[in-house]
Amino acid sequence: MVKVGVIGLGYWGPNLVRVFGGDARAAVVGAADPLADRRALITSRFPAIATFSSGEDLIDADVDAVVVATPLASHYDLALRALRAGKHVLVEKPFTATALQAEMLVSEAARRGLVIMVDHTFVYNPAVVRLKEMIKSDHLGELLYFDSRRINLGLFRPDSDVIWDLAVHDFSILDYLVGGMPLAVSAVGVAHINGQRNNTAFITLQYTNQFVAHIDVNWLSPVKVRQLLVGGGRRMVIYDDLAPDSRLRVYDCGVDGLAADDADYRKRVEYRFGDMWAPYVPSTEPLTELAAHFLDCIEKKDTPRSGGEAGLRIARILEAATQSLRRGGIPVSFAAAG
């Protein structure tokens, strides 16, 4: 039985308490938050869970694993303290405020033989897992592009801009689907409300073999959209997280280039049109899958799917996107991003 403690009981923390409490291999024995009303809410729902007013007190208690679901600025200090206390750690996204902090946490966990994992929930979404299987089996052919829109009205956050809040999801999906770091990142964005952080951003990531990714994130959209398109040389897939009956749609269509030296352009490009189908996608909750995976990794000493190394790669991408945005969209290469 893994004894779990959750630090941070705001928006996301209670969900983490719920999913870990629902796994027979774990027991949530502690929860911490400086606000008394949040602690009282947990006590009313889960009377057996001890509550603490500080994360440090919870870390010092009798727990095997610590879940950090606090504002970004506190992630590093709490995770490092937990690792040094011999606890396994799961950190809410974004992993850390800087890539250097991520490097130090990865190093500390490795030195102590502990599991450190990032809550990149979409990596555990059954639709994304199925999409990964399609790519791995070459069902789509050579990957050409990734185009994502993640937009809605609000929520403005005091500790991060729209890139660190929303685009981090797409960065984690990209990292899982294609692996490896991009060659360069460019970003432009705007803060339309004085005194607030950037609420709109457009990010481009350039990879090898002419694969390119574009991400559109926005807190000022009148509608909520969670859709991405992955284009392959053989087939293309739309993933719509808000379409309950067809979250994945596969299109058997594309463009074939013929002889490049043909004088007639129409003879050099041939369009293919085929069927569209929606593969079956299980309806399991991604957060439940994530919690189960964290426990699996603790029990089996496995490397997590969204482990510290993945968190480090994404921290580097986030930093590069921020640098590019500050420079007016000039691409930042990863040879120069540090």
In this structure, the chain runs to a length of 338
- Residue 13 pLDDT class (50, 70, 90 cuts): very high
Class of the CATH-defined domain 123-286+317-333: alpha beta
Tokens of 314: 């994404």
Helix (H) or strand (E) holding 130: helix 126-136
Does 277 have pLDDT greater than 50? yes
Q: Which of 77-86, 93-102, 240-249, 319-328 has the lowest mean pLDDT?
A: 240-249
Measured distance CA(122)–CA(212) in Å, rounded: 20
pLDDT of the residue at 115:
98
pLDDT of the residue at 156:
77
Q: What is the mean pLDDT of the segment spanning 136-161?
A: 90
Helix (H) or strand (E) holding 210: none
Convert the pLDDT of each residue in 170-225 to its tens digit: 999 999 999 889 999 999 999 988 777 899 999 999 999 899 999 999 999 999 99
Measured distance CA(143)–CA(147) in Å, rounded: 12
Q: Which residues pair with 90 in a beta bridge?
A: 67, 117
pLDDT of the residue at 338:
45
Convert the pLDDT of each residue in 89-136 to its tens digit: 999 999 999 999 999 999 999 999 999 999 999 999 999 999 999 999
Helix (H) or strand (E) holding 40: helix 36-45
pTM, rounded to two decimals: 0.93
pLDDT of the residue at 336:
52
Single-letter amino acid code for the residue at 126? P
What architecture does CATH give domain 2-114?
A: 3-Layer(aba) Sandwich (3.40)
Q: Where along the chain do the CATH 3.40.50.720 domains lie?
A: 2-114
Q: Where along the chain do the CATH 3.30.360.10 domains lie?
A: 123-286+317-333
Helix (H) or strand (E) holding 59: helix 55-60
